[in-house]
Structure 1
Amino acid sequence: MANHGPSYGLSRELEKKNQARFSLDEAIEVLLWVENVTQLPYSCDPTTCQNAADVADLLKDGVHLCKLINRLLNNGSRAPFNPKPKMPFQKMENISNFLEACKAYGVAEISCFQTVDLYENKQCYKVIECLRSLAAVQLIMSGFEMESIIWLWKLATSCEI
């Protein structure tokens, strides 16, 4: 992970805006959804996360993300991933493979994040938005047969078609 010093001026203002967009409650709900779908426990309880860095640390290796998309893909295709990444490039490759599979699954490219947004905890809110979009696509593809997710139902009912 890159070691960045403090931000000043416009960079600091943008950093504050990005931090304000992050909602810990939404992030915890999404993490619990990922854990429920993958049936793979995190290294620590997601409800103990205190900030965006804690959330990013749980997803940083990309394993949960790849297992999630592989679980959702039912057409036989799989996103390749390293189940026990040790090196930074392996973790970033897992995240990149997840993002490519998300786009192929039907998540709009504008809803996806960049690898560094997660790996370097640049814009964690984008990671959560991407996972929410993935859940919404899954809900639509399953014909609304997925178990009730409060934040997803709020999103679905707030959109007028």
Structure 2
Amino acid sequence: MANRGPSYGLSREVQQKIERQYDPELEQLLVRWVLAQCGGDGGPAPATPAPGRDGFQQWLKDGTYGIAPTDIFQTVDLWEGKNLACVQRTLMNLGSLAAAKGDGLFRGDPNWFPK
């Protein structure tokens, strides 16, 4: 996590509420999807993250899953780990758009993503 002190009072309650929204099962689905999208091009397969919020955050920040450095998340939600549930929702929306495109380039199970 980022270099910041502990939260107290209302800030702590809000942060705990945000953290309870994080879904470990959704994390695994998103990891599989990102790996399916970025792998299979003949290059080395991207490494898988360590399980959990911190591993997921570091994996996305790292950028070695095939995303250009200019396209890596730049939000406080990812970099400081304040709201990784929001990062999950963004990836789910991206997956939905990619699956709905119908251009034949989508890899993975389109049923993972809402229509």
| Aligned ranges 1:103-122 → 2 under 5 Å | 115-122=75-82
Whichever residue aligns with residue 58 of structure 1, its letter is W
The normalised TM-score by structure 1 is 0.58
Aligned residue pair count? 109
Aligned counterparts, 1:79-98, within 5 A: 81-82=68-69, 94=70, 97-98=71-72
**TM-score of the superposition, structure 2-length normalised?**
0.79
Q: 1:137 aligns with which of 84, 97, 100?
A: 97
1:8 matched to which residue of 2?
Answer: 8
- C-alpha distance in 2 between matches for 1:132 and 1:144: 19
Quick one: distance in 2 between partners of 1:53 and 1:149? 27
**What is the distance in 2 between the residues matched to 1:138 and 1:122?**
26
Which letter does structure 1 place at the counterpart of 2:109? S
> Shift of the alpha carbon at 1:2?
3.7
Residue identity in the other structure for 1:134: L
Runs of 4+ more than 3 Å apart? 143-147
Please give the secondary structure, in 1, of the residue aligned with 2:62. coil
The one-letter amino acid paired with 2:53 is A
Alignment correspondent of 1:27? 27
Q: Alignment partner of 1:60: what SS?
A: helix
Kept in 2: contact 1:60–1:119 (CA 8 A): yes
Q: Which has the higher helix share?
A: 1
Note the residue ranges of structure 1 that are not aligned, 5 or more in a row.
Answer: 67-80, 83-93, 100-113, 157-161
Secondary structure of the residue that 1:131 maps to in structure 2? helix
What secondary structure, in the 3-state scheme, does the structure 1 residue paired with 2:98 have? helix
Task: Report % sequence identity.
Answer: 29
Q: Which has the higher contact order (CA 8 A, sep 6+)?
A: 2
State the shift of 1:145 in Å: 8.0
- For 1:2 and 1:128, locate their aligned partners in 2 and report how far apart those are by CA, in whole Å: 19
Q: 1:122 to 1:65 in 2, by over 3 A?
A: farther
CA distance in 1, matches of 2:103, 2:7: 46
User: Does the 8 Å contact 2:46/2:66 carry over to 1?
Assistant: no
* Structure 2 Cα separation of the partners of residues 149 and 32 of structure 1: 12
Match of 1:127 among 67, 87, 96: 87
Q: Aligned residue for 2:46?
A: 41
